[in-house]
Amino acid sequence: MANPWAGEVALDLNGRRQVMKLTLGALAELETTLGADSLVALVERFEARTFSARDVSALILAGLRGGGWQGTAEELAQAEIGGGPMKAAQAAAMLLARAFSLPDESA
């Protein structure tokens, strides 16, 4: 079970529940992957809903790695995400939100 107070988000990957988390190392990997000097532009794209599939994939991969998943980007690209692309985008946005804020009481 994912703990929102720890910044965790659950995602079904190939029929198995995975816990994702944007650790400091995962955030650094994300910056490198996206070629960004900061994550502010990425957060702004999600807030404006102008993010790309590449953004979502990079966030999901970083979150999975932060949660301990040992897979590769290629394995993620071939994986089945429960709920499809929309669920992946929602989970990616939630990862960003939980990494930089406390969850509200209803989470």
Distance (Å, whole) CA 7 – CA 83:
21
Q: What is the pTM of this model?
A: 0.86
- Other Cβ atoms closer than 10 A to 86: 9
- Residues 62, 23 contacting (CB under 8 angstroms): no
Q: Tens digit of pLDDT for each residue in 33-92?
A: 887 667 788 888 888 888 889 999 999 999 999 999 999 999 999 999 999 999 999 999
Q: What is the mean pLDDT of the chain?
A: 88
The identity of residue 31, as a single letter, is E
The amino acid sitting at 59 is L
So what's the pLDDT on residue 41? 80
**Tens digits of per-residue pLDDT, 63-79?**
999 999 999 999 999 99
